[in-house]
Chain A
């Protein structure tokens, strides 16, 4: 009962509308607040609420979460209604039929249900349900274009699946960045594949291009990839993105009387040291055959640079408590490896979304309800497509019923 109530609450289109409006208004205020350079109380209030960094505010994240829940519930409720419709179509009463977009009544006409069925069949409707409620009250439910309704089903199912797989993906996905030096081999965790950085080639416009081999355990060479900022798949669950191909510097940073760490740094890379210090490798200069590194040391997290020094290969540099040493310069490729076993399912759900949307928007699905009671006929219906055309069809059905009655 509680679940039903919650589902009813969260599947409300009104709630969805309110949530979306709040998100939109927050975004607009958040963006406009960047222009408010006045130091007044209004600006202080905006900053306190968090409009200045709206994407990071807890209430904005809550709104997004509500949107997700709302969308999920809306899709779920429509799926349930579709399944119910397949099993046993809902018979609407006159009050509900009169609220449908298309609704006509025929007064003071005595008509048989068979005649109505005939008219509906002439309009290519399939009679799904025919119920006699006694007191001469008969209700007929017909529909056509089931493919459109299947599209509607697939669309809502895909929304649920996308959310479901996204949630699983956030738990199961493992992503890490590796640096491979020229000739180095790396075994991909969870998989029987290894990567080998085989060669560094000259690309267009002085860019560098890495040649990486993918080796499968027991089978040998599987693929060769030339990588300038490209993504490629090792298999359906593992993809690799080439973040950079360049010269790297093998660097050791030793804190006196403490441990020693080794890094491969590329231009622009930085290492956080203690006391808010950041070591930045600003430039690697290979001119005149002299291998030099251009070091920049920032002293705080605001990034203000107050120390710059060029140091040569093998030349140690003592900075406060740190001994920094450029040990080697080598060709380097930086790869981001992502392992996600549900990638394929997410992709399939996305495709289902597009397919379902196309079917539900481009293939018509019409439902029609007819109530026959006490010399009165009520015809109501709904469609997912071209309202005008359907309106004409309803009027045409009305005319046919009237004519049929007159003929008899």
Chain B
């Protein structure tokens, strides 16, 4: 077993412990475990980069691992480590488990991915998914929130998440389009991933148009965010496992 894989296992154990401690309301200890987990996961990504000699998001294992990392980092950036959400942590854990299920030995970067755009397009997309996960977490809490004040606070967090996610998704789509032009000869080829990313972009565009309307505040907007995250999962994971032709398969 390689060192980077061992680190991923250790990070998983730490996250699971952090989640368990958080459930039992031991927040301080939970925070320490999660922070240690983040440090180990970051180290595993660095080691993977060194072993494979390319950025750590080219195959399915790397993608799940990097996505998991982006989810937790997005939450960290937004709501500070002391209040890290159990939902976000759970998403990150599930993704980390999936990465271990689909583990692959490091290989050299396929020629098709050997491009400057790879270093912008992929991380921007994954970070945007991470922020969308954070918005989903806030939306889910909004649905079950009983106090108006808490609901407003969660709305603000979800707004900040979507704002970052949407900007990064736009960067991802634009750089992807420019990359597609140079590699495949066309800016847009209606590939399933491209189409669902566009649908995703429009769903969150709706969010911005609706979030400042009185009638759409609260539970309604939370449902829209949950729907948006379903499309995120469909875009990232669903298309990869369905028997459809796509230029974006790992």
Contacts and interface: CB of A to CB of B under 8 A. Distances in A.
Asked if chains A and B come from one complex, the reply is: yes
B178 A350 contact: yes
Interface in B107-166: 108, 111-112, 114-115, 152-153, 155-156, 159, 163, 166
Interface string A8-29: 0000010011001001100110
A358 interface: yes
Contacts of A101: 212-214, 217
Contacts of B163: 361-362
A354 B171 contact: yes
B203 A20 contact: yes
A100 B212 CA distance: 8
Interface stretch (B33-41, B93-101, B190-198): B190-198
B46 to A, nearest CB: 23
B44 to A, nearest CB: 26
B25 interface: no
B196 A27 contact: yes
A387 B211 contact: yes
A222 interface: no
A241 B182 contact: yes
B50 interface: no
A347 interface: yes
B156 A229 contact: no
Given A101-B212, A101-B214, A386-B159, A27 B167 contact: no
A241 B108 CA distance: 21
Report the contact-size class of chain B (Cβ under 8 Å from the partner). Answer: 35 or more
A59 to B, nearest CB: 14
B194 to A, nearest CB: 11
Q: Dominant SS at the B interface?
A: helix
A67 B198 CA distance: 11
Given A17-B206, A228-B111, A23 B185 contact: no
A251 interface: no
B112 A229 contact: yes
A382 interface: yes
Interface string B229-250: 0010010001000111000000
Interface of B: 108, 111-112, 114-115, 152-153, 155-156, 159, 163, 166-167, 170-171, 174, 177-178, 181-183, 185, 187-188, 190, 192, 195-196, 199, 202-203, 206, 208-209, 211-214, 217, 231, 234, 238, 242-244
25 contacts: A13-B209, A17-B206, A23-B199, A31-B238, A31-B242, A31-B244, A55-B190, A100-B214, A101-B214, A101-B217, A169-B187, A229-B114, A231-B182, A239-B181, A338-B185, A343-B181, A347-B178, A350-B174, A358-B167, A361-B163, A382-B212, A384-B212, A387-B159, A388-B152, A388-B156
The 3 tightest CB contacts between A and B, nearest first, are: A231-B182, A229-B111, A350-B174
